[in-house]
Structure 1
Amino acid sequence: MSRSIVRQSKFRHVFGQAVKTEQTYDDIRVSKVTWDSSFCAVNPKFLAVIVESSGGGAFLVLPLSKSGRVDKNYPLVIGHSGPVLDIDWCPHDDNIIASGSEDCTAMVWQIPDHSLARPLSDPIVVLEGHSKRVGIVSWHPTARNILLTAGSDNLIIIWNVGTGEPLISMDDHPDLIYSISWNRNGSLFCTTCKDRRLRVCDPRKREVVAERLAPHEGIRPMRAIFTREGNIFTTGFTRMSQRELGLWDPTNFEEPIALLELDTSNGVLLPYYDADASMVYLCGKGDSSIRYFEITEEPPYVHYLNTYSSKEPQRGMGFMPKRGVDVTRCEIARLFKLHDKKCEPITMTVPRKSDLFQDDLYPDTAGPEPAMEPEEWLDGRDEDPILMSLRHGYMPPKSRELKVSKKNVLDSRPTARRSMSTLDTNSLPSSHLCFGLFPLVAHCP
């Protein structure tokens, strides 16, 4: 018996397919800002796209079910006075989204379950702490209400959006920060920077705990994401401007676990990571293809699987959390590809003949419940995501209404700025003890 040399993997035959024309979102004027963000964020309820708008910055939020042609008068989210550069849905509430803008602020918004009837201009909270544009917003994966922002002032600020307070500020980067990625339990994050260094930061110690100069030798922008195992997957360029990907062990940055040259295109490769399948999807800005790879424990560690190709180049990309995929069709990922004037969902499917739930494709995945409160995380606690089964699919819960006056968040009087634990909660009216998305006191009725 000759030994089979074909690597066994249930993801070897994953294939990508664009949805039918009537399931796309048409007549969207995608932003022309030259910022290297994905311009698109998606969750099981909504699709959000940064769009061109006169008089400031705006983004469009559509219920996922509202495919087809988008009315040119459809209401936008319009609170920023400068172009919006990045948006990110809260992993613990499908109705909450954060945005960062050239106007030096980040804002947090509550989106109603139904379609917007009028433009939304009132954020729940405005986060003011950066002196230059805010190019990155990223929610903590497991702690409630913790949001990270990074600006062109090379500053990283971590906020408790339930109180509007900055908790941690880090200024270890001497130049523009290209990307930031939390690890699985949110104890660390990794960054790539214009100074060509890849850094691992411990935010609660306010220090860089590991760094590597030039994981990719080219001077063009890099991207880095943490894998489930705690390694770091990077994309960048060689000295000859070849695009390249790498896999690194942050406890030993000397040699890469894997380094792979791809092609000579000049678009920055945006990596989207599926922790359950240990797969990464690479979408280059301006490319018309999506490559996908599987990361494993055996050499060569990063295994090329396949490429989804189409004729139209992509302006940006959104990546659906695993709880939003259709398990009845063996869909393991859904990407939302931005064209100039539309957004096209692309489904990634494992071909299976059986109609039964495929346990091996769908291990329990990160659910929408936060694993801890902001104070617990700040005090040094670490928790992995709370997992949920996809056996019966996922139905997003209805929006939880905010039950607190705006004054309680934005009021700058000293008493309101202190955390709730330092206040005498007995003296507050009961309506102040529950904050919908942002419970300042645990276990609201």
Structure 2
Amino acid sequence: MPLIRANLKYRHLFGEQVRKDQQFENVPISRNAHDGQFVAVNSEFLAVSCESSGGGSFLILPIDKPGRLSPLNLHKICGHSSAIIDLAWNPFDDRVLATASEDGYVKLWRVADPSEVSPAAELEHNRRLLYTAWHPAAADVLLTASYDCEVAVWADCRLCSTIGHPDHVNSIAWSPDGRLLASTCKDRLARVMDPRSGCTVAKWTCHTGAKISKILFSDDCRLLTTGFSEYSQRQYALWDLNKTSRALHSDEVDSSSGVLLPYYDPDCSLLYLAGRGDGNIRFYEISRGRLHFLNQFSTHSPQKCIAQLPKRALDRSLCEVGRLYRLHVASNVVEPVRVIAPRRGHHVSDIYPPAAAPIPALGADQWLAGANRDPVRVSLSTGEIINPPLPPPQKPQSPPQAPQAQSSSSNGGDPTHQLTPGTLRNIQHLVQAASPPRPTLNSETAASTPADPAAAAPDTAATAAPAGTSCGPEKFSRLLEKFQHLDSPSTEPSPGGDASAAVSNSACGPTADMDSSSGRPDAVSTEELTSQLAAKDVELSSLRKELAFRDMRLMRLEKELQSKESELVYLRTLLRRYGDSRSSQC
């Protein structure tokens, strides 16, 4: 067993199995043999791909209501004609789910309630889907991979670009800021590409084995891959994007035959390696360009895949730094596993660095225009936003002669500042995560240490609030003020404006009209036309790409039609020969 370095922050990390009454039992989990993500979880719901006859279906379960499910009360959502092999929740809206199916469609669903789910959008591929991944920083940007050896980028349900591969794609992943995407292919090569232009930044042989390999970004310049060696040994490797000729660190895990599935926590630099088909989850910490083994969680029941719960929904009073939901296909159970880093007292905040916030850093149009930004992060102890989102582009001011044009929203329709119900719920979760945790000290220490530092301060406003809720309303109001702040000028005309205009007209006569016709309004209208022209160019470019995509599909359909016609001619020939032989026998 590898030695654990003494200076690692999470060297005492361990996995804890929950009680049976906290598990989800009698869940009809899909038996499909694909290595996709058959389970997805957010701060409210758990989505599981189900086994069903005649199409693909999935279940939505509240994470706070575990237990044994009754077959008579299962609300299966059916919307695909084939099995669902990949699920992904929108990181910025807990009520939007993406499902990828073998029928060649990616569907977006709006979840109002576990029993009230409605389709919101539909994205089409030529062949069956393999994987989906949401952009980590931009709103409504989705990455999909299909069996036609192509990776597609969608923004606001519009096809933006397609990137071809020489063989089937094994995995896809975004960089932390969404500037690059990575993929592994059946040709044993790992590729890093620009998602907007489709250009290949780097490619190299990651693993020499012929089985499936996986890839993900550990930071902007380093990637981690899992795969098989030439002798079918499961292994992992850490790579530097600027020097892919040799791995920074690589090691063999074991000789099992199941795919090694990596799950990464970028906030804590923790890596979870789950073996598909076995009951082991290995914990690693990435530090100084190396992977350091911490611990291992083992059970006798094999797992199909796992899903990570967002940080804002963890129980900080238990020192929980992660929660993994494991799928047991044989027993039809979804089992939560708590990942705990033991701490005492005020040292609890040491294991909770700023985490990703449920707020997009930029909009889809901004990302398509070339903007890049790190995900918005929030402090789990104070609820403070670390790096605010990119403000939307300022609209040019309308002429004062048309005040009704200024009455539109100053947000410009940008999703980074629209307070949708999903965003409000996510902000409430942040406020709840910012509340002080329940103490885990013994009786003597708890008697000497206050449970809430804010309660010991001589602030009258804090002491007047109820216990345990002194931080919630204030932080929630501050967050609302941040995202409801409007930078546009007031839309009401200033008092006396008409009178001053009349005085100027009467004093200057036609000269004032000449100055006003060649002054600010013309410059403003030129800027507005320029912005509209740029928006139309972006829309035209997306339409051209979509048209090219449709042309490629039409060519493939024509080839299939020709092959079917040739088969039909051959069958007719056989039928005619068979009729001639029967007539000769008679």
Same fold? TM cut 0.5: yes
- 1:400 alignment counterpart: none
Q: 1:392 to 1:68 in 2, by over 3 A?
A: farther
Match of residue 180, structure 2, among 188, 200, 203: 188
Mapping 1:35-434, distance limit 5 Å: 35-72=34-71, 73-112=73-112, 114-116=113-115, 120=117, 122-128=118-124, 130-161=125-156, 164-171=157-164, 173-213=165-205, 215-297=206-288, 301-340=290-329, 341-354=332-345, 356=346, 358-391=348-381
Whole-angstrom CA distance in 1 between matches of 2:300 and 2:382: 36
Report the Cα offset of residue 357 of structure 1: 6.5
Whole-angstrom CA distance in 1 between matches of 2:104 and 2:136: 24
Report the Cα offset of residue 335 of structure 1: 0.3
Whole-angstrom CA distance in 1 between matches of 2:422 and 2:364: 10
2:177/2:220 contact within 8 Å kept: no
Q: Which has the higher contact order (CA 8 A, sep 6+)?
A: 1
After superposition, give the CA deviation of every residue in 1:231-284 in whole Å (9 maximum; x if it has no partner).
000100011000000000111110000110110001101101011111100001
The reply to whether residue 17 of structure 1 matches residue 19 of structure 2 is no
What is the DSSP-based 3-state SS (H/G/I as helix, E as strand, rest coil) of the residue aligned with 1:110? strand
Whole-angstrom CA distance in 2 between matches of 1:41 and 1:244: 26
Q: Return the letter of the residue paired with 1:153.
A: D
Report the Cα offset of residue 6 of structure 1: 4.3
After superposition, give the CA deviation of every residue in 1:69-107 in whole Å (9 maximum; x if it has no partner).
122231122111111010101110111110110110101
Q: 1:348 to 1:438 in 2, by over 3 A?
A: closer
Report the Cα offset of residue 10 of structure 1: 2.1
1:228/1:278 contact within 8 Å kept: no
Structure 1, 370-379 or 63-72: larger mean CA deviation = 63-72
Using the size of structure 1 for normalisation, the TM-score is 0.84
Q: Which runs of 5+ in 2 are unaligned?
A: 385-394, 396-403, 424-482, 487-586
Q: 1:313 to 1:169 in 2, by over 3 A?
A: same
Q: Return the letter of the residue paired with 1:365.
A: A
Whole-angstrom CA distance in 2 between matches of 1:228 and 1:6: 22
Whole-angstrom CA distance in 1 between matches of 2:484 and 2:9: 42
1:327/1:357 contact within 8 Å kept: no
Q: 1:54 to 1:28 in 2, by over 3 A?
A: same
Report the Cα offset of residue 165 of structure 1: 1.3
Report the Cα offset of residue 52 of structure 1: 0.3
More strand, by proportion: 1
Using the size of structure 2 for normalisation, the TM-score is 0.65
Identity of aligned residues (%): 38
What is the DSSP-based 3-state SS (H/G/I as helix, E as strand, rest coil) of the residue aligned with 2:312? helix
Q: Which runs of 5+ in 1 are unaligned?
A: 395-420
Whole-angstrom CA distance in 2 between matches of 1:230 and 1:123: 37
Which has the greater radius of gyration? 2
Q: Return the letter of the residue paired with 2:349.
A: D
2:93/2:422 contact within 8 Å kept: no
Report the Cα offset of residue 62 of structure 1: 0.6
Report the Cα offset of residue 208 of structure 1: 1.1
Whole-angstrom CA distance in 2 between matches of 1:444 and 1:6: 47
Structure 1, 142-151 or 317-326: larger mean CA deviation = 317-326
Report the Cα offset of residue 216 of structure 1: 1.0
Q: Return the letter of the residue paired with 1:126.
A: E
Aligned-residue CA RMSD (Å):
2.7
Moved over 6 A (4+): 425-430, 432-435, 442-445
Whole-angstrom CA distance in 2 between matches of 1:291 and 1:84: 28
What is the DSSP-based 3-state SS (H/G/I as helix, E as strand, rest coil) of the residue aligned with 1:262? strand
After superposition, give the CA deviation of every residue in 1:374-404 in whole Å (9 maximum; x if it has no partner).
011011100101111111689xxxxxxxxxx
